[in-house]
């Protein structure tokens, strides 16, 4: 926009980078990238979600991709944007197929971190803004159809005489946001969910659950929450929003529909997906299959000797509704992550006698502290451009971010030192991760292992919810015997023991062979517990091509669902339109 | 904001006006207002919706109101706003109770048009933006209740053990927008509607109906349409939006609830409203009663001799669903306004033989021309501030607007001269109003008398839908005999003959005495057909105190519903909070 006032170092780098991209054979990457450098690409250069680490990886990628991608027109973006100063700035460019944005962070004039991201496909833009449809032509015409006629026809035919080009299994926030983007891109998609209505997944969770992220991180694409929306949203309110969103965005949604099997037909290059709907078994034949079934697979229930003999009530945390009616009951909650804590609080609030069994050390971060921190981020500013905010957040690849999170964890430990000290003294087994990089990294590495404290830690610190450490030896008719020989009498046992990995859905729905071929989902390959290497540098298999043609994964929290649904939607649209999408895979 | 670059003439006038408001006894109005001048006030100075015409009227109002209102702090607003130049500009001020905005248009340094409008009540602001609620406190607490607990309790108790402070009869866009504003203001309100669900009023209308206004005029408060929303919205899509909106805004809505009677208890200063819901008769006791029942009252069916003998199908336009199944049928549509035309088009599209009976001259304006015109207005600009746009639109009181609309009508007549000429030649009785001020003024004066052409006029001009002029003498078993003796054979007669006035609801629900006391609703008192004088200068009884304590009217199109629901909501909130609300009435 106003290139004149772009910081000169940034303008110069962008110009030289553009020249290198135009003639990669002549490029001297040492003059563009520092010794330590990262290039994170979101489907712009690589048609993949990938971070290249180091000059060699970058040179190899550019050599492979440059000709086909034809990136050009590199120009500094508006210097009034945030994250613009003498050592960093935004730029725009285009490829053979797309309009893209980039951000570079310099150290001594050389790129330390580079982000490139596709924003829209040229000639296949979303039907918004100046491209909004007219809705109607102002003339009489025999046989023309109204909006309702078309919606009713789609309801009658989609999945029957008309096959969806894309089938999305799972109608939570991930499935719906992706479907909304596909709708605006004109990609025929169908969302199926075993539950009846959008939001029912949230409704089924325990009554006291609220979102842990503040509202400004949680917006859905195209339809931001009204500005009186509470800072933290109840699970039932977000459930209603999912329903509202599906309706407002005209998402084609089949509730009460169970996906039982899926098989890829290599010759037809399409899926055959078996579903049951209203007692009827149907075969759907989409070209693309997206699993948006959530980060978790089936419930994980550890096999504990004697569990079958327990005379009280025992259930998985997923079946915990509310603590109502639990007054006076002796409740043992096995587990020490978010759900375990929230259920302990709920039971305590309903006058139960609660004990938590902690089997491994747990990270804790105070929601109130995170709230104070988050007040200062760009997302929270009035009038923030959410799309830009997402790019800003993305301009921090996982390797440098790991170091950043170590520092952030140190910061939290210092501001909440008294809190952590009290909690540790109470017998709670507190840690900050095996490399002390805290809960954010634990989320990316294994989607668990932490508690965002919304009140439970005070109950533990004050002894109102005692914590028992160690493994369980046996469950008896009336309680839990620990490996150290101690005994916890119990009327109720809650297994807050988590879920199986999401990749197991692939084995169940498709085949063990495809599950094995695709490999694990989520995790960075950090080599820490629950996240074996090798280092991947991005979340495995998420929002990008997998080893199985036509199979995609869409998952994560609301922020990730919003941001990465764009990249997945654009990849799907490009394939539907037959655009060249040369996928670059590293390693 | 940047007072330095406010045009000097505006800054000077605002400063002098502020001084006059501080010491009205010393004010010389001749030095502030021109000979011809208008001050439109939207509840800021007058707690009324009123336009004062001329210096004497202005002086009289200020003399009466100034002390109680205590307007102060007049300061030029951001000079970057639209409608800011050497002869006009925005300013802000406050009163004893409210934050307000103003706009002045100068002629030779004197105010020609002044707008003042309340934006929010001091200390009773809406719970949005930085005032958003937290939603939850991050600590364990016995007996605390979730969002769902509270919603369920409201559903159980509101209207039973807890009385709504405000009852809104009618759950169309008017009732819902007002309810949304009251919700954010913390005013307990209940919306009741005879139909089951929000939007059912739109769903019941004829299938081919689309909004006549483009999307950028139609936004609801707080939750703008996504930007892929079509330019013109189908009635079924807007119906869905009403349902979505009521859910998203947590509006307390009773569908399937008929209001049968209402009586104001002067001693208790509350209403007793009789409603039937689910077969049960209930008495509601709100302090305030808002009729949002639409601009129209009951269907108007003219008494035509012989109608009972007609052997075909005859029905009011409100009962027209679709032309499906009408192929080959001889259809006579009585009427020549919007509904009549739309139904003629629908019948023609379904291969019926359609004749329109036109009994009086009709204004026609081409939707496509309006669309071109509207592209340039501020509302249509990307990123337009809708609240500001509404104020800009309001800064044009009805007397000067009448002259403006005459000019605008002349403009439309010149750009569409060929169209109007063809239409008139076809036998259609075309006019532009008795004073040639066109369809906008007809809307304000009598909410009818025109057709916004979305295709019907071409059918008429080309003779595909013949038009028969004149009055009907008699309906026979098989057709319609006109006063001129001619006969139209008919299988179907559609009465697009309009509705009774909305004020009749008052007589029906409350009493003929109150109907008489309150007088007509809508209309400006222009002294033209359907809008008898005396001149009122604002829409009668709309969004402002009526002669019946505690009775209010909320109505109009989407733009008006959005804008004026703010003023009505603020008046209600002020009364609930016991603020001083001295109402100024002119004349």
| pLDDT tens sequence across B169-187 | 999 999 999 999 999 999 9
Closest-CA distance, A390 to chain B, in angstroms, reads 19
Write the DSSP string, A200-261: HHHHTS-TT-B-SS-GGG-PPSSSPPPTTS-SS-BHHHHHHHHHHHHHHTT--EE-SEEEEE
Q: Do B138 and A247 touch (CB under 8 A)?
A: no
What's the DSSP call for residue B85? B
| DSSP strand pairing (B280-284 vs B479-482) | unpaired
Distance CA B148, CA A319 (A): 18
- Cα A89 to chain centroid distance, Å, stands at 26
Angle between helix B55-69 and B8-22 (nearest 10) = 60
Per DSSP (E only), the strands in A510-587 are 551-553
Distance CA B538, CA A186 (A): 46
Task: Count how many Cα atoms sit within 13 Å of the Cα of residue B244 in the half-sphere of its side chain.
Answer: 25
Q: Is the pLDDT of residue A396 over 50?
A: yes
Distance CA B398, CA B404 (A): 9
Q: Is the pLDDT of residue A6 over 90?
A: no
Using CB atoms and an 8 Å cut-off, which of residues 107-126 of chain B contact chain A? Answer: 126
Q: Of B131, B138, B210, which has the smallest distance from its Cβ to A135's Cβ?
A: B210
Closest C-alpha among B164, B149, B177 to residue B254 = B164
- Contact at 8 Å (CB) between A168 and A183? no
Q: Of B142, B244, B382, which has the smallest distance from its Cβ to A349's Cβ?
A: B142
Task: Please give the pLDDT value at position B2.
Answer: 45
Task: Please give the pLDDT value at position A4.
Answer: 54
Closest-CA distance, A226 to chain B, in angstroms, reads 5
Q: Do B366 and A138 touch (CB under 8 A)?
A: yes
Distance CA B118, CA B103 (A): 12
Using CB atoms and an 8 Å cut-off, which of residues 130-149 of chain A contact chain B? Answer: 130-144, 146-149
Task: Please give the pLDDT value at position B501.
Answer: 85
Task: Please give the pLDDT value at position B586.
Answer: 79
Closest-CA distance, B350 to chain A, in angstroms, reads 7
- B-chain CB neighbours of A136 within 8 Å are 210, 230, 232, 234, 454
Average pLDDT over residues A498-508: 89
Q: Does A226 touch chain B (CB under 8 A)?
A: yes
Look up tokens 């060929």; give the residue.
Answer: B418
Phi, psi of A88 (to 5 degrees): -160, 160
Selected residue of B120, B127, B136 to mutate for chain A interface (largest A Cβ count, 10 A): B136
Closest-CA distance, B295 to chain A, in angstroms, reads 25
Write the DSSP string, A69-136: H--EEEEE--TTSSS-BTTEEEEEEE-SSEEEEEEEEEETTEEEEEEEEEEEETT---S-GGG---S-
Q: How far is CA A222 from CA A157, A386, B122, B223, B228, in A?
A: 27, 10, 32, 11, 8
What percentage of chain A exceeds 70 in pLDDT?
A: 99
- A-chain CB neighbours of B184 within 8 Å are 228
- B-chain CB neighbours of A351 within 8 Å are 142
Write the DSSP string, B25-64: GG--GGGTEEEEEEEEEESSSSSSEEEEESHHHHHHHHHH
Q: What is the dihedral of CA A397, A398, A399, A401, to 10 degrees?
A: 90
- B-chain CB neighbours of A458 within 8 Å are 139-140
pLDDT in tens, chain B (587 residues): 444 588 999 999 999 999 999 999 999 999 999 999 999 999 999 999 999 999 999 999 999 999 999 999 999 999 999 999 999 999 999 999 999 999 999 999 999 999 999 999 999 999 999 899 999 989 999 999 999 999 999 999 999 999 999 999 999 999 999 999 999 999 999 999 999 999 999 999 988 899 999 999 999 999 999 999 999 999 999 999 999 999 999 999 999 999 999 999 999 999 999 999 999 999 999 999 999 998 777 899 999 999 999 999 999 999 999 999 999 999 999 999 999 999 999 999 999 999 999 999 999 999 999 999 999 999 999 989 999 999 999 999 999 999 999 999 999 999 999 999 999 999 999 999 999 999 999 999 999 999 999 999 999 999 999 999 999 999 999 999 999 999 999 999 999 999 988 888 999 999 999 999 999 999 999 999 999 999 999 999 999 999 999 999 999 999 999 999 999 999 999 999 999 999 999 76
Q: How far is CA B396 from CA B36, B402, B554, in A?
A: 14, 10, 21
The number of beta carbons lying within 10 Å of the beta carbon of residue B478 is 15
Query: Strand, helix or coil at A180?
Result: helix
Distance CA A374, CA A61 (A): 36
Q: Name the strands in the sheet holding B33-42, side by side, starting at the edge strand that comes first in the sequence.
A: B49-53, B33-42, B110-121, B98-107, B88-94, B72-76
Using CB atoms and an 8 Å cut-off, which of residues 232-271 of chain B contact chain A? Answer: 232-234, 236-237, 240-241, 243-244, 247-249
Using CB atoms and an 8 Å cut-off, which of residues 295-324 of chain B contact chain A? Answer: none
Q: Do A234 and B135 touch (CB under 8 A)?
A: yes
Closest C-alpha among B70, B109, B75 to residue B93 = B75
Contacts of residue B488, Cβ cutoff 8 Å, sequence gap at least 6: B330, B332, B355, B357, B468, B479, B480, B481, B482
Closest C-alpha among A248, A249, A276 to residue A261 = A276
Closest-CA distance, B497 to chain A, in angstroms, reads 22
Q: Do A230 and B366 touch (CB under 8 A)?
A: no
Q: Of B132, B149, B247, which has the smallest distance from its Cβ to A229's Cβ?
A: B132
Contacts of residue B370, Cβ cutoff 8 Å, sequence gap at least 6: B452
Tokens standing for A503? Answer: 């990749």
Element containing residue A178 per DSSP (H, E): helix A173-185
* Residues linked to residue A210 through DSSP beta bridges, in sequence order: A234
Using CB atoms and an 8 Å cut-off, which of residues 337-376 of chain B contact chain A? Answer: 345, 348-351, 366-368, 371
- A-chain CB neighbours of B232 within 8 Å are 134-136
- What is the residue-averaged pLDDT of chain A? 96
| DSSP strand pairing (B479-482 vs B472-476) | antiparallel
- B-chain CB neighbours of A143 within 8 Å are 349
What's the DSSP call for residue B106? E
Phi, psi of B277 (to 5 degrees): -140, 125
| DSSP strand pairing (A472-476 vs A479-482) | antiparallel
Model's pTM, two decimal places?
0.96
What percentage of chain A exceeds 90 in pLDDT?
A: 95
Task: Please give the pLDDT value at position A587.
Answer: 61
Closest-CA distance, B390 to chain A, in angstroms, reads 19
Task: Please give the pLDDT value at position B41.
Answer: 98
Q: How far is CA A407 from CA A83, A88, A392, A403, A559, in A?
A: 20, 21, 19, 7, 23
Closest C-alpha among A270, A292, A296, A258 to residue A553 = A292
What is the predicted ipTM? 0.95
Distance CA A230, CA A214 (A): 8
Distance CA A71, CA A90 (A): 16
Q: How far is CA A113 from CA A36, A50, A53, A89, A396, in A?
A: 9, 13, 9, 11, 7
Using CB atoms and an 8 Å cut-off, which of residues 159-198 of chain A contact chain B? Answer: 184
Distance CA B333, CA B341 (A): 9
Using CB atoms and an 8 Å cut-off, which of residues 401-440 of chain A contact chain B? Answer: none
Q: What is the dihedral of CA B263, B264, B265, B270, to 10 degrees?
A: 120
The CA-CA-CA angle for residues B222, B226, B228, to 5°, reads 155
Using CB atoms and an 8 Å cut-off, which of residues 465-524 of chain A contact chain B? Answer: none
Q: Of A127, A141, A454, which has the smallest distance from its Cβ to B349's Cβ?
A: A141
Look up tokens 């419930």; give the residue.
Answer: A299
Average pLDDT over residues A251-276: 97
Task: Please give the pLDDT value at position B4.
Answer: 54
Closest-CA distance, B259 to chain A, in angstroms, reads 28
Mapping DSSP onto H, E and C, the string for A249-278 reads CCCCEECCEEEEEEEEECCCCEEEEEEEEC
Q: Of B137, B248, B458, which has the smallest distance from its Cβ to A139's Cβ?
A: B458
Task: Please give the pLDDT value at position B475.
Answer: 98
Look up tokens 């379904």; give the residue.
Answer: B350
Selected residue of B133, B142, B145, B148 to mutate for chain A interface (largest A Cβ count, 10 A): B148
Closest-CA distance, B252 to chain A, in angstroms, reads 15
Closest-CA distance, A462 to chain B, in angstroms, reads 12
Look up tokens 């709907």; give the residue.
Answer: A277
Closest C-alpha among B101, B116, B88, B108 to residue B36 = B108
Say whether the peptide bond before residue A534 is cis (omega within 30 degrees of 0): yes
- B-chain CB neighbours of A128 within 8 Å are 226-228
Q: Do A349 and B146 touch (CB under 8 A)?
A: no
In this prediction, residue A436 has a pLDDT band, given cuts at 50, 70 and 90, of very high
Tokens standing for B437? Answer: 């001020």
Task: Please give the pLDDT value at position A49.
Answer: 98
Q: Does A155 touch chain B (CB under 8 A)?
A: no
Query: Strand, helix or coil at A7?
Result: coil
Task: Please give the pLDDT value at position A1.
Answer: 40
Look up tokens 């269907």; give the residue.
Answer: B299
Q: Of B140, B144, B345, which has the smallest distance from its Cβ to A459's Cβ?
A: B140
Q: What is the dihedral of CA B259, B263, B264, B270, to 10 degrees?
A: -50
Q: Of A130, A146, A237, which has the smallest distance from its Cβ to B147's Cβ?
A: A237
Q: What is the pLDDT of residues A400-414, one digit of tens each?
A: 999 999 999 999 999
Distance CA A261, CA B202 (A): 42
Task: Please give the pLDDT value at position B3.
Answer: 44
Tokens standing for A492? Answer: 């109720």
Closest C-alpha among A406, A447, A472, A410 to residue A529 = A447
């Amino acid at each position: 926009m106003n290139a004149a006032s772009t910081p000169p170092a940034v303008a110069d780098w962008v110009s030289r980078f553009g020249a290198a991209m135009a003639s990669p054979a002549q490029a001297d990457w040492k003059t563009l990238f520092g010794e330590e450098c990262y290039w994170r690409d979101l489907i712009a250069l690589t048609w993949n979600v990938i971070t290249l680490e180091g000059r060699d990886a970058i040179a190899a990628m550019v050599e492979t991709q440059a000709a086909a991608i034809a990136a050009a027109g590199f120009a500094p973006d508006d210097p009034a944007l945030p994250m613009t100063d003498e050592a960093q700035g935004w730029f725009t460019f285009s490829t053979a197929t797309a309009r893209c944005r980039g951000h570079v962070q310099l150290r001594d004039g050389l790129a330390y971190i580079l982000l490139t991201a596709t924003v829209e496909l040229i000639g296949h833009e979303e039907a918004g803004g100046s491209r909004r449809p007219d809705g109607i032509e102002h003339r009489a015409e025999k046989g023309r159809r109204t909006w309702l006629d078309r919606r009713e026809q789609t309801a009658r035919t989609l999945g029957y005489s008309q096959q969806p080009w894309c089938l999305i299994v799972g109608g939570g926030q991930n499935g719906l946001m992706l479907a909304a983007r596909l709708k605006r891109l004109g990609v025929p998609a169908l969302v199926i969910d075993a539950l009846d209505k959008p939001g029912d997944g949230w409704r089924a969770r325990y009554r006291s659950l609220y979102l842990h992220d503040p509202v400004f991180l949680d917006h859905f694409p195209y339809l931001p929450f009204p500005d009186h929306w509470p800072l933290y949203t109840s699970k039932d309110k977000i459930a209603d929003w999912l329903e509202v969103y599906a309706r407002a965005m005209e998402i084609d949604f089949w509730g009460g529909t169970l996906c039982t099997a899926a098989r890829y037909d290599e010759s037809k290059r399409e899926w055959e997906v078996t579903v049951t709907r209203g007692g009827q078994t149907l075969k759907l034949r989409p070209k693309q299959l997206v699993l948006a079934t959530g980060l978790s697979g089936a419930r994980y229930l550890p096999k504990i000797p004697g569990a079958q003999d327990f005379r009280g009530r025992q259930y998985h945390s997923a079946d915990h509704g509310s603590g109502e009616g639990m007054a006076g009951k002796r409740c043992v909650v096995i587990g020490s992550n978010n759900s375990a804590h929230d259920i302990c609080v709920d039971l305590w609030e309903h006058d139960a006698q609660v004990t938590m069994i902690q089997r491994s050390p747990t990270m804790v971060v105070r929601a109130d502290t995170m709230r104070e921190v988050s007040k200062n981020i760009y997302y929270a500013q009035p009038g923030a451009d959410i799309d830009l905010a997402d790019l800003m957040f993305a301009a921090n690849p996982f390797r440098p971010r790991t170091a950043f999170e170590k520092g952030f964890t140190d910061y939290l430990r210092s501001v909440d030192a008294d809190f952590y000290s009290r909690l540790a003294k109470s017998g709670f087994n507190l840690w900050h991760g095996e490399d002390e990089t805290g809960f954010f990294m634990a989320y990316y590495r294994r989607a668990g292992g932490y508690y965002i404290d919304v009140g439970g830690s005070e109950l533990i610190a004050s002894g109102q919810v005692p914590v028992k450490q160690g493994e369980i030896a046996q469950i008896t008719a009336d309680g839990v015997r620990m490996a150290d020989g101690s005994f916890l009498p119990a009327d109720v046992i809650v297994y807050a023991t988590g879920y199986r990995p999401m990749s197991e859905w692939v084995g169940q729905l498709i085949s063990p062979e495809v599950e094995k071929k695709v490999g694990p989902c989520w995790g960075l390959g950090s080599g820490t517990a629950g996240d074996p290497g090798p280092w991947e540098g991005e979340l495995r298999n998420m929002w990008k091509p997998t080893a199985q043609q036509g199979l995609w994964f869409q998952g994560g929290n609301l922020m990730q669902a919003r941001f990465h649904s764009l990249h997945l939607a654009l990849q799907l649209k490009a394939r539907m339109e037959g655009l060249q999408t040369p996928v670059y895979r590293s390693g």
